[in-house]
């Protein structure tokens, strides 16, 4: 065996990794399933309602992952390779079973095994709870990244938080959103492995003291802290049929023993137990993103908890191998920060290197700046994180010292570059001065990183020209673009097996790992026979979704209707309201007898509103009220349907995106950083109606202007409008718009609930409306009319659908990860024997 360069304490290797691999046959899978179901879980009869069948299948599959996981780790240790830690407060994984079977290539065998005992694999899939450890795009992106990294054999470890409660469930009651806790761990999470042996201690509170050591150097100590234990739970991330299994390491907070004892000795047993509770609160719940959630101390605790535990884990692994020699550390490690959420890692790495490992400031700073890389995911000013200095001082006093020192040196650098430019200094400082001084986390992330990237070409350009302009002038070489993607394994191969089979039958299945091969579909776009097969493959997806909608909402929609879909978080900038105005316009047209040339259309809207976001919740209520009026009007029945799809999540999208004809990507230009739902829809053959925002720009470029329904003001036009925007006169001068507003304002959709929509409607008429909904109404309605006409031309529409899928090759996270790796990470693939 090779010299032991171990991530784990030395010990002799168990046979698992040396003996023969577990067979991947139906027989062997059934045998293991039976073992777990009967012996481990103690079940005697098969009842489909229990979680035990699902668990037993997972255990049988996990066994097969375990061998590959061990081998991947061994090779990583042996090769002492450069690695990336992807630090993210969110990993929106969704379900894992189907993906694991696909990647291991044992779906058929598992299906066969289960059918022998009268079970359906599909039913087993349905028993899995979503791992909903994220809000939306940012968290799902992290999950797609992990799938692509494993598939590309890139040594990337995800570090996140094991929230006890993930993204809340949404119930609709009387049209209103009601939140319910997501107790996703109740029946256990059979994928995870608890690694108590790798627990770390994270400190909070207390104070810092400084003294000189025997060499006269300043030493800093952070004392009288509250310590919390961080326990890692590892989740295997299998690559696609390449034997690689990477790791998602999720930290869970637990009280330390010392901590309990000190409290106990101080007098109160009850206080000790309460303190234990406080410790465990840190990882209790995922914050739903909303401006109102900003500045919560518990959120800062979560961020520091993740950053500290993950960095300590990395340093633990480093010192096992290299002792206290950090000369190669920056060459061998990189920390990718998923937004500013884990940005306190910049200061924490400094602390660990200086206070724990005795490096000097300059050496520590060089390592930090050479290992940290930051991805920005939003331009919305209200979403940019700032923490009150006072809160930081209380919670993380040693970290505040370090941030002040970083800032002092940074300010020095800026004033040398721009002598006397005090405005610039104030703009760039890590501290926003004022009555309540704040720490600007984005500035900390930029100063501490060697790379700063946006997530779509337009977004990255706007960062450099706008939000981060001063920094881009100082360090132009740091800034770069990495356009987002999605994994086609989940978002086409697994969720749309019918279409996937058709595609593979025609062009082979190389697209599963090289999505640009979908370009091979383009020559078939006009082939009548292929077109018919394309429609035939998509129709059952629409029927399946219609059935689900009928079950969830009671609304019947026909699979031949145009499925017009907008699913994403509810936010004013995403303009679900604009979509709703169009729905009301269609309703108005049909009512006034002007609907004859309308194709039957089902408008489907879904998404969660942050619990504290009053306007977003009002929008949900309004959608539901309009839906009730439309759906109960007999004259609408075969023409128009409006449904609000409740509790939208990853699993819902797996059902929805294969069934969509039209993908609504209608944000105010300059507000959506990228969007990733837009890519999932495109891949599955939906056509986009969209503004020139985020990745829509690149989607349109890829598919061609003829195969994309463009509307709305551009970023520059929106900018130019500000200050002279007059929605009142826009409405007044557009008869359709005026009728729509009159209908809503007359209380037509809230007969017995007076005034509930007043604020929402007023926001549209407000000259200060940041989202400029009224400005884009006319061009949106016109673009929708073009959609209507295009849908009547069945061959023309099918052609566009095929061409969209064919042009989606760039939007794979495989490409995104290659880009990150080429420009930022520079990793070698794991070389399995
Ligand atoms: C902010 C906050 C603030 C307070 C508490 C919790 C919380 C959680 C998340 C956020 C920021 C969310 C930013 C975000 O999700 N950005 C989205 O990132 C996607 C992936 O890059 C991108 O496609 C979307 O356009 C962008 O909105």
Compute, in angstroms, the gap from residue 491 CA to the centroid of ligand 1: 20
Residue-level pLDDT at 658: 98
What is the DSSP-derived secondary structure letter of residue 414? H
- Please identify, by atom number, the ligand 1 atom nearest to the C-alpha of residue 459: 25
* Ligand 1 lining (C-beta closer than 6 Å): 135-138, 141, 287, 289, 293-294, 299, 339, 377-378, 383, 455, 484, 672-676, 694
Distances (CA, A) of 605 to 128, 132, 172, 608, 626: 24, 20, 13, 10, 12
Compute, in angstroms, the gap from residue 699 CA to the centroid of ligand 1: 21
- Please identify, by atom number, the ligand 1 atom nearest to the C-alpha of residue 385: 3
Say yes or no to pLDDT of 613 above 70: yes
Mean pLDDT of the chain: 95
Confidence of residue 8 (pLDDT cuts 50, 70, 90): low
Compute, in angstroms, the gap from residue 82 CA to the centroid of ligand 1: 29
79-88, 261-270, 363-372, 638-647: which range is least confident on average?
Answer: 261-270
206-224: per-residue pLDDT in tens? 999 999 988 888 899 999 9
Torsion of CA 309, 314, 319, 320, to 10 degrees: 100
Say yes or no to pLDDT of 772 above 90: yes
Confidence of residue 264 (pLDDT cuts 50, 70, 90): low
For ligand 1, atom 8: residue with the closest CA: 289
Answer yes or no: 43 catalytic.
no
Cα–Cα dist 528/354, whole Å = 68
Take residue 615 and report the two structure tokens written for it.
Answer: 């306007």
Strand order in the sheet with 438-440: 386-388, 438-440, 431-432
340-373: per-residue pLDDT in tens? 999 999 999 999 999 999 999 999 999 999 999 9
Say yes or no to pLDDT of 408 above 50: yes
Question: CB within 8 A of 816, min separation 6: which ones?
Answer: 145, 148, 482, 483, 484, 485
Compute, in angstroms, the gap from residue 322 CA to the centroid of ligand 1: 37
Residues paired with 812 in a beta bridge: 486
Q: Is the Cβ–Cβ distance between 1 and 14 less than 8 Å? A: no
List the catalytic residue out of 569, 571, 585, 671. Answer: 569
Distances (CA, A) of 299 to 293, 303, 350, 681: 9, 6, 21, 33
Residue-level pLDDT at 652: 98
For ligand 1, atom 20: residue with the closest CA: 138
Residues paired with 145 in a beta bridge: none
Cα–Cα dist 363/345, whole Å = 17
Number of CB atoms found within 10 A of residue 800's CB? 24
Work out the burial of residue 443: count CB atoms within 10 Å of its CB; fewer than 13 is exposed, 13-18 middle, 19 or more buried: buried
For ligand 1, atom 15: residue with the closest CA: 138
For ligand 1, atom 7: residue with the closest CA: 289
Residue-level pLDDT at 11: 62
Q: Is the Cβ–Cβ distance between 831 and 82 less than 8 Å? A: no
Residue-level pLDDT at 273: 75
Say yes or no to pLDDT of 728 above 90: yes
Question: CB within 8 A of 469, min separation 6: which ones?
Answer: none
For ligand 1, atom 9: residue with the closest CA: 289
Compute, in angstroms, the gap from residue 448 CA to the centroid of ligand 1: 21
Compute, in angstroms, the gap from residue 384 CA to the centroid of ligand 1: 10
Answer yes or no: 207 catalytic.
no
Tokens 């206070």 belong to which residue? 355
289-303: per-residue pLDDT in tens? 776 667 799 999 999
Answer yes or no: 212 catalytic.
no
Confidence of residue 269 (pLDDT cuts 50, 70, 90): confident
Cα–Cα dist 429/686, whole Å = 45
Say yes or no to pLDDT of 826 above 60: yes
Cα–Cα dist 191/59, whole Å = 8
Say yes or no to pLDDT of 680 above 80: yes
Residue-level pLDDT at 5: 40
Residue-level pLDDT at 265: 63
Residue-level pLDDT at 382: 85
Compute, in angstroms, the gap from residue 338 CA to the centroid of ligand 1: 10
List the catalytic residue out of 95, 351, 574, 589. Answer: 574
Take residue 94 and report the two structure tokens written for it.
Answer: 């969704």
Cα–Cα dist 744/630, whole Å = 13
Compute, in angstroms, the gap from residue 456 CA to the centroid of ligand 1: 14
User: Rounded mean pLDDT of 67-91?
Assistant: 97
Answer yes or no: 551 catalytic.
no
User: Rounded mean pLDDT of 320-328?
Assistant: 97
412-437: per-residue pLDDT in tens? 999 999 999 999 999 999 999 999 99
Say yes or no to pLDDT of 2 above 70: no
Spatial CA neighbour of 763 closest among 736, 741, 780, 781:
741
For ligand 1, atom 14: residue with the closest CA: 138
Q: What angle do CA 131, 575, 669 make, to 5 degrees?
A: 105
Beta-carbon-side half-sphere exposure of residue 161 (alpha carbons within 13 Å):
32
Answer yes or no: 535 catalytic.
no
List the catalytic residue out of 62, 582, 641, 680. Answer: 680
> What is the SS3 assignment for 271-339?
HHHHHHHHHHHCCCECCCCCHHHCCCHHHHHHHHHHHHHHHHHHHHHHHHHHCCCCCCHHHHEEEEEEC
543-574: per-residue pLDDT in tens? 999 999 999 999 999 999 999 999 999 999 99
For ligand 1, atom 6: residue with the closest CA: 289
Residue-level pLDDT at 6: 41
Give the pTM: 0.97
Cα–Cα dist 446/443, whole Å = 5
Residue-level pLDDT at 295: 73
Cα–Cα dist 618/623, whole Å = 9
734-765: per-residue pLDDT in tens? 999 999 999 999 999 999 999 999 999 999 99
Say yes or no to pLDDT of 498 above 50: yes
Say yes or no to pLDDT of 458 above 50: yes
Number of CB atoms found within 10 A of residue 49's CB? 7
Beta-carbon-side half-sphere exposure of residue 649 (alpha carbons within 13 Å):
20
What is the DSSP-derived secondary structure letter of residue 669? T
Answer yes or no: 226 catalytic.
no
Say yes or no to pLDDT of 259 above 90: no
Torsion of CA 186, 190, 196, 197, to 10 degrees: 180
User: Rounded mean pLDDT of 311-316?
Assistant: 98
For ligand 1, atom 10: residue with the closest CA: 289
Tokens 């595609």 belong to which residue? 503
Take residue 582 and report the two structure tokens written for it.
Answer: 């169009």
Residues paired with 451 in a beta bridge: 373
List the catalytic residue out of 73, 568, 571, 575. Answer: 568
Cα–Cα dist 713/702, whole Å = 21
40-49, 470-479, 528-537, 797-806: which range is least confident on average?
Answer: 40-49
Residue-level pLDDT at 4: 39
Say yes or no to pLDDT of 13 above 80: no
Confidence of residue 47 (pLDDT cuts 50, 70, 90): confident
Spatial CA neighbour of 581 closest among 553, 599, 605, 598:
605
8-22, 762-776, 780-794: which range is least confident on average?
Answer: 8-22
């Amino acid at each position: 065996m090779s010299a032991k360069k171990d991530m784990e304490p030395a010990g002799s290797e168990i046979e698992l990794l040396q003996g023969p691999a577990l067979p991947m046959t139906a027989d062997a899978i059934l045998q293991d399933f039976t073992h777990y179901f009967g012996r481990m879980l103690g079940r005697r009869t098969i009842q489909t309602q229990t979680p035990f069948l699902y668990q037993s299948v997972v255990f049988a599959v996990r066994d097969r992952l375990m061998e590959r996981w061990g081998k991947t780790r061994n090779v990583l240790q042996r090769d002492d390779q450069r690695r990336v830690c992807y630090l993210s407060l969110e990993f929106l994984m969704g379900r894992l079973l189907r993906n694991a079977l696909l990647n291991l290539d044992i779906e058929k065998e598992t299906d066969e095994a289960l059918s022998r005992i009268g079970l359906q694999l599909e039913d087993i899939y349905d028993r899995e709870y979503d791992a909903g450890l994220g809000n939306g795009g940012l968290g799902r992106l992290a999950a797609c990244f992990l799938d692509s990294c494993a598939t590309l054999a890139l040594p990337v470890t995800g570090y996140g938080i094991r929230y006890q409660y993930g993204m809340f469930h949404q119930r609709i009651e009387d049209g209103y959103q009601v939140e319910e806790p997501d107790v996703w761990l109740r029946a256990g999470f059979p994928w995870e492995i608890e690694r108590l042996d790798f627990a770390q201690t994270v400190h909070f509170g207390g104070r810092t003291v400084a003294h000189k050591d025997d060499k006269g150097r300043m030493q800093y100590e952070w004392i009288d802290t509250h310590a919390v234990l961080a326990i890692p739970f590892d989740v295997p991330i299998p690559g696609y049929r390449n034997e690689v299994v990477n790791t998602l390491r999720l930290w869970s907070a637990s009280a330390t023993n010392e901590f309990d004892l000190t409290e106990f000795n101080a007098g109160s047993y009850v206080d000790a137990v309460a303190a234990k509770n406080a410790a465990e609160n840190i990882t209790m719940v995922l914050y739903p993103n909303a401006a109102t959630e900003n500045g919560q101390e518990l959120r800062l605790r979560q961020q520091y908890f993740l950053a500290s535990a993950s960095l300590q884990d990395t340093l633990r692994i480093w010192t096992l191998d290299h002792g206290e020699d950090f000369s190669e550390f920056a060459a061998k490690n990189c920390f990718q920060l998923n937004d500013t959420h884990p940005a306190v890692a910049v200061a924490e790495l400094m602390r660990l290197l200086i206070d724990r490992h005795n490096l000097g400031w300059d050496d520590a700073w060089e390592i930090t700046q050479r290992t940290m890389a930051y991805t920005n995911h939003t331009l919305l000013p209200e979403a940019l994180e700032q923490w009150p200095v006072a809160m930081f001082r209380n919670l993380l006093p040693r970290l505040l010292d370090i941030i002040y020192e970083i800032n002092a040196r940074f300010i020095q650098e800026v004033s040398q570059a721009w002598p006397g430019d005090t405005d610039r200094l104030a703009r760039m400082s890590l501290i926003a001065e004022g009555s309540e001084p704040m720490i600007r986390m984005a500035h900390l992330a930029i100063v501490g990183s060697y790379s700063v990237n946006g997530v779509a070409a337009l977004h990255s350009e706007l960062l450099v020209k706008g939000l981060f302009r001063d920094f881009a002038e100082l360090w132009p070489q740091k800034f770069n673009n990495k356009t987002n993607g999605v994994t086609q394994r989940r978002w086409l191969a697994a969720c749309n097996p019918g279409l996937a089979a058709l595609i593979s039958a025609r062009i082979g299945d190389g697209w599963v790992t090289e999505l640009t091969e979908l370009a091979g579909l383009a020559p078939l776009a006009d082939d009548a026979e292929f077109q018919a097969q394309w429609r035939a493959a998509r129709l059952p997806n629409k029927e399946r979704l219609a059935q689900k909608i009928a079950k969830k909402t009671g609304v019947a929609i026909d699979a031949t209707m145009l499925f017009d879909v907008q699913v994403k978080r509810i936010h004013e900038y995403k303009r679900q309201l604009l979509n709703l105005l169009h729905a009301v316009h269609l309703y108005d047209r049909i009512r006034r007898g002007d609907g004859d040339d309308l194709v039957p259309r089902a408008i489907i809207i879904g998404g969660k509103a942050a619990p504290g976001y009053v306007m977003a919740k009002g929008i949900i209520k309004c959608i539901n009220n309009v839906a009730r009026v439309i759906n109960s009007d007999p004259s609408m029945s075969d023409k128009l349907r409006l449904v609000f799809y409740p509790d939208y999540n990853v699993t819902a999208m797996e059902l929805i995106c294969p069934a969509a004809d039209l993908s609504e990507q209608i944000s105010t230009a300059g507000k959506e950083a990228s969007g990733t739902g837009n890519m999932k829809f495109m891949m599955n053959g939906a056509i986009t109606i969209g503004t020139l925002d985020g990745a829509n720009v690149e989607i349109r470029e890829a598919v061609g202007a003829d195969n994309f329904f463009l509307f709305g003001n551009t970023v520059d036009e929106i900018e130019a409008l500000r200050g002279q925007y007059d929605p009142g006169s826009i409405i007044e001068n557009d008869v359709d718009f005026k009728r729509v507003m009159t209908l809503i304002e007359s209380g037509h959709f809230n007969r017995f609930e007076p005034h509930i929509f007043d604020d929402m409607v007023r926001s549209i008429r407000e000259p200060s409306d940041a989202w400029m909904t009224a400005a884009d109404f006319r061009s949106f309605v016109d673009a929708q009319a073009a959609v209507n006409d295009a849908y009547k031309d069945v061959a023309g529409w099918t052609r566009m659908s095929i061409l969209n899928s064919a042009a989606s090759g760039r939007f794979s996270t495989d490409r995104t990860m290659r880009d990150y790796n080429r420009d930022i990470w520079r990793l070698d693939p794991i070389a399995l024997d």
